[in-house]
């Protein structure tokens, strides 16, 4: 399985970090792939925008330093030096890149994950983003060019982040300048998916609604508006504030029925038409 997935959509190329079980920790293979892609796309006039995101619940938890340490113990220090040489070269290319890069920072963003995102032009955080530079806890120092971007944070905030390894949320990243934009996770998900992916997700949701798994509000709404027409639905619960996130999340799960299958859509050349705003 490829550790980096490459998606092409018109003039956009999306690089997906694909080691979800390892929280997308950067391996030597991933760094090499990123170097190859960034170098090639900069020379390709048909590519205008790069998007970087992670698969699973993390953007990137850092470099795979555990693999580096194991290699050093079994071989020599030169593997570690080679790993960091390529990683720092990638950081430099991203920081000086001539084309815009958008990093979708969902979930954990630490160490090497900051290196492949913070140096880029646009850093989009969500309500699930957790950022940290935890190197001092490992007996290292904040690397990947952190002495450049941390030193430019307001006041002594950069020193605080680098020395303590404190975890920052989306609001704190925006306030200090580490992030450029905020998008709520639920909105962002549909925005980065193809029309097929959106329809598959919505099919799961509508099947749960049809079964009345977690609520029968749909049937109550149809009764009040279409059948009895009293226009007085009795929602359960009656107030939005009483709807818990845990219940909402269940609508995205697979239907618990051995005969049920996800929506099967045939492959198509197009991923769906884009909406072009006129405002």
Q: Is residue 172 part of a domain?
A: yes
Q: Is residue 183 part of a domain?
A: yes
Q: Rounded mean pLDDT of the chain?
A: 89
User: Residue 273: pLDDT band by 50, 70, 90 thresholds?
Assistant: low
User: Residue 32: pLDDT band by 50, 70, 90 thresholds?
Assistant: very high
Average pLDDT on 165-194 reads: 85
| CA separation, residue 218 to residues 71, 198, 215, 222, 237 (Å) | 58, 21, 8, 6, 13
Query: In this predicted structure, what is the pLDDT of residue 105?
Result: 97
Q: Is residue 239 part of a domain?
A: no
Q: Which domain holds residue 49?
A: 4-189
Q: Is residue 174 part of a domain?
A: yes
Query: In this predicted structure, what is the pLDDT of residue 278?
Result: 45
User: Residue 91: pLDDT band by 50, 70, 90 thresholds?
Assistant: very high
Q: Is residue 228 part of a domain?
A: no
Which tens digit of pLDDT belongs to each residue from 237-251?
Answer: 888 788 888 888 888
User: Residue 21: pLDDT band by 50, 70, 90 thresholds?
Assistant: very high
Residue 188 has pLDDT above 70, yes or no: no
Q: What count of other Cβ atoms lies within 10 Å of the Cβ of residue 182?
A: 16
User: Residue 279: pLDDT band by 50, 70, 90 thresholds?
Assistant: very low
Query: In this predicted structure, what is the pLDDT of residue 187?
Result: 60
User: Residue 171: pLDDT band by 50, 70, 90 thresholds?
Assistant: very high
Q: Domain of 174: which CATH number?
A: 3.90.226.10
Q: Is residue 159 part of a domain?
A: yes
Query: In this predicted structure, what is the pLDDT of residue 69?
Result: 87
Higher-confidence residue of 210 and 193: namely 210
User: Residue 174: pLDDT band by 50, 70, 90 thresholds?
Assistant: very high
The share of the chain scoring above pLDDT 70, in percent, equals: 94
Average pLDDT on 44-71 reads: 93
Residue 99 has pLDDT above 90, yes or no: yes
Query: In this predicted structure, what is the pLDDT of residue 68?
Result: 86
Query: In this predicted structure, what is the pLDDT of residue 183?
Result: 87
Lowest mean pLDDT among 162-166, 183-187, 213-217, 269-273: 269-273
Count: domains in the chain: 1
Lowest mean pLDDT among 83-87, 132-136, 268-272: 268-272
Residue 116 has pLDDT above 80, yes or no: yes
Average pLDDT on 66-80 reads: 82
Which residues lie across from 6 on neighbouring strands? 15
Compute the 3-state secondary structure of the chain and give helix, strand, coil in percent, each to the nearest 5: 45, 15, 40
H helical segments located in the chain: 28-43, 65-74, 77-95, 112-115, 146-149, 157-164, 170-176, 185-191, 195-211, 217-222, 245-250
Query: In this predicted structure, what is the pLDDT of residue 215?
Result: 87
Cα within 13 Å of Cα(101), Cβ side: 25
Q: Is residue 121 part of a domain?
A: yes
Q: Is residue 181 part of a domain?
A: yes
> What is the value of pTM for the model shown?
0.69
| Strand-by-strand arrangement of the 101-105 sheet | 4-9, 12-17, 49-54, 101-105, 122-125, 181-182
């Amino acid at each position: 399985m490829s550790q980096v997935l490459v998606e092409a959509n018109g003039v956009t190329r999306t690089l997906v970090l694909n080691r979800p079980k390892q929280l997308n920790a950067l391996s030597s293979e991933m760094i090499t792939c990123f170097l190859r892609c960034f170098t090639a796309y900069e020379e390709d006039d048909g590519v205008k925008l790069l998007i970087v995101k992670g698969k699973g619940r993390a953007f990137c938890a850092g470099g795979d330093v555990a693999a580096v340490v194991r290699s050093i113990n079994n071989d020599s220090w030169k593997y570690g030096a080679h790993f960091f040489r390529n990683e720092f070269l990638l950081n430099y290319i991203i920081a000086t890149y001539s084309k815009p890069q958008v990093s979708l920072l969902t979930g954990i963003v630490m160490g090497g994950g900051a290196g492949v995102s913070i140096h880029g032009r646009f850093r989009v955080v969500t309500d699930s983003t957790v950022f940290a530079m935890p190197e001092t806890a490992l007996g290292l120092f904040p690397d990947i060019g952190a002495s450049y971007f941390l030193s430019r944070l307001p006041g002594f905030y950069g020193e605080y982040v680098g020395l303590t390894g404190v975890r920052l949320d989306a609001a704190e990243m925006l306030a200090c300048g580490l992030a450029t934009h905020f998008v709520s996770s639920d909105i962002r998900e549909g925005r980065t998916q193809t029309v097929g992916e959106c329809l598959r997700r919505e099919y799961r949701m509508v099947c749960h609604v049809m079964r009345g798994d977690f609520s029968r509000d749909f049937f109550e709404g149809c009764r009040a508006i279409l059948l009895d027409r009293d226009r007085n639905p009795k929602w359960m619960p009656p107030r939005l504030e009483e709807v818990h996130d845990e219940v909402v999340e269940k609508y995205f799960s697979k239907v618990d029925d051995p005969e049920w299958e996800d929506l099967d859509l045939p492959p198509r050349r197009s991923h769906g038409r884009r909406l072009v705003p006129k405002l």
